Amino acid sequence: MAGPGQCLARSFARPNGGAGARSCQRTTQWAAAPGVLRSRPEPLLQFDPPAFAVPPSLRWALVRAFGPVGQAWPAPPAGREALDLARRFDLAARIGGRHPLPSLAAEVGAQAASAFTLEHEAARRAAAFLGKVAAEVAGVAASLGVPIVLLKFAALRASGLVADGLRAAGDVDVLAPPDRARALAAALGTLGLTPAGFGAEAHQLPQLRDGGGRCVEVHVHVPEVRVSPGAPPVTLDALASRGLLRRTGLPGECSVPLPHVMTAHAVVHGLVHHGFAPDGYPALRLVGDLIALGAHEDGGALARAALTLVVDEIGPDEMEAAVALAARLARADATLFEPGPSPEATLLRHVVAGRLDVDYGRSLRLRAVGARRWTLARAAHALVLTDAQIDVVYGPPRSRLGYMGRRLARPFDLVRRIVRYAAAAARVRLRR
């Protein structure tokens, strides 16, 4: 009998085997819930990675990060290589938290095993710290009478779905009513949180930071998540009015989205916002989130519900790939690492090649430029960097004059990068 995820798409298959239906053993298409239509006719995501083998040490890391604890693995890898790859794909803390030190030491040696454990302890402390930050933010919001919704890691943690130390995070994301968001951001100044200099986005106010490592992002809507096709991105009021929130035990009106909303947000965040930047965002974090939410073992129920919220952005194949990848990794399905046409194998190859294949990673940056919905404001944002953005992209200059030089050189640097990305994309096409 097929395990969860192997033929998980059966519950999503096109009715009556209509046009476009494909075998469950190969690439199966999922359909949205009956009556749900996309406002855009074409899928926006088209990953096409080259043939690329998952290195043996990364196979081990994936099984230890997501597979059953105690699962035998035939060929323990070299400890240093396994540790380096696990860190590169943001798996080290998860591995260190899921397996006892002696069993890790037996496979990768005492030194690497201790490093995995230390990664877990560091992530556990960071998660506890962010939990305190979330409680402080909820307290400030309560004092103003502003309702908030925790998002991403903060929501998973407040829901009790993810244990501290199994998932890395660096900030607290909260959703506030658009007309109260600025008041909340200003009030967070009482905690020492001030704008970090990165500028606002359409979906959020400027990031807030302090010198003690606290970082908060106040959102005004959840980007690309919609209550119906063609509708604007959901706000706090839209989620509340449709009963899509659950109250937490934190002060005031502090809620978290229902699991299928968190699933929708996780998938669109991982595949749309960062799908063409696997070297900048740990894409396998999405797998851990889907496993924490239970989307990998519920027969597709969460995924079906989630798809209706992101149907404008995510096609059925992309949703299938994400959930089936989580399901197969959760049961340590080694056949996933063999060449095959399944959507989850394609997604895994995309994630791995995006980090380890230099040309493919650069070609994705070019596709990201083409896929972005450019506006004059977005173009200006990419062209004219703030001081904080210059520090991140180029490193802090030695003087104020250095910032001016970086800004003057920015257009030429962008052209140089695009030419380099185009050359990489051409090399990838030649290899195919």
Residues 6+ apart with CB under 8 A from 234: 221, 222, 225, 226, 227, 309
pLDDT at position 160 is 93
188 and 305 in one domain? yes
Residues 300 and 171 in one domain: yes
CATH number of the domain within which 89 lies: 3.30.460.40
Say yes or no: 180 and 144 in one domain.
yes
Based on the domain organization, do 141 and 280 belong to the same domain?
yes
Tell whether 156 and 274 lie within a shared domain. Answer: yes
The pLDDT confidence band at residue 375, using thresholds 50, 70 and 90, is low
Residue 213 maps to a domain: yes
Does residue 305 share a domain with residue 163? Answer: yes
347 plus 362 within the same structural domain: no
User: Is the domain of 114 the same as that of 226?
Assistant: yes
Residue range of the domain that includes 213? 51-356
pLDDT 10s digits, 347-364: 999 999 999 999 999 998
- The kind and range of the H/E element at 254 are strand 254-257
Q: Burial-class residue 263 by CB neighbours within 10 Å (0-12, 13-18, 19+).
A: buried
202 plus 263 within the same structural domain: yes
Please give the sequence-ordered ranges of beta strands (E in DSSP) within 130-214, or none if there are none.
Answer: 148-151, 172-175, 194-195, 208-209
Instruction: Give residue-wise pLDDT tens across range 397-406.
Output: 888 888 888 8
Q: Is residue 31 domain-resident? A: no
Higher model confidence: residue 216 or residue 163? 216
For the chain, the domain total comes to 2
Phi-psi region of 395 (alpha: psi -120 to 50; beta: other; left: phi over 0): left
In a domain, 37, yes or no: no
Q: Which band of pLDDT confidence, cut at 50, 70 and 90, is reported for residue 372?
A: low
Which of 356, 373, 403 finishes a domain?
Answer: 356
- Predicted confidence at residue 8, as pLDDT, reads 33
> In this model, does residue 48 exceed pLDDT 90?
no
Both tokens of 28, joined, read 């199966």
Q: Which of 318, 336, 356 is the last residue of a domain?
A: 356
pLDDT recorded at residue 1: 36
In a domain, 25, yes or no: no
Residue range 267-296: mean pLDDT, rounded: 90
Residue 316 resides in a domain:
yes
Q: Do 352 and 417 sit in the same domain of this protein?
A: no
Give a yes or no: residue 12 inside a domain: no
In a domain, 46, yes or no: no
197 sits in the region (left: phi over 0; alpha: psi -120 to 50; else beta) called left
Which tens digit of pLDDT belongs to each residue from 326-343? Answer: 999 999 998 888 877 788
Q: Does residue 2 have a pLDDT over 70?
A: no
Q: Does residue 180 sit in the same domain as residue 255?
A: yes
Angle (CA) 146-148-150 rounded to 5° is 160
Contact, 204 vs 269, CB < 8 A?
no
Domain boundary among 305, 340, 356: 356
Say if residues 397 and 405 touch (Cβ distance below 8 Å). yes
Q: Are residues 337 and 371 in the same domain?
A: no
Evaluate if residue 244 carries a pLDDT over 60.
yes
Question: Model pTM?
Answer: 0.83
Confirm whether 312 is domain-assigned.
yes
Which backbone phi and psi does 252 adopt, to 5 degrees?
A: 65, -160
What's the farthest any 2 CA atoms get from each other in the chain? 68
Q: Tokens standing for 88?
A: 């590169």
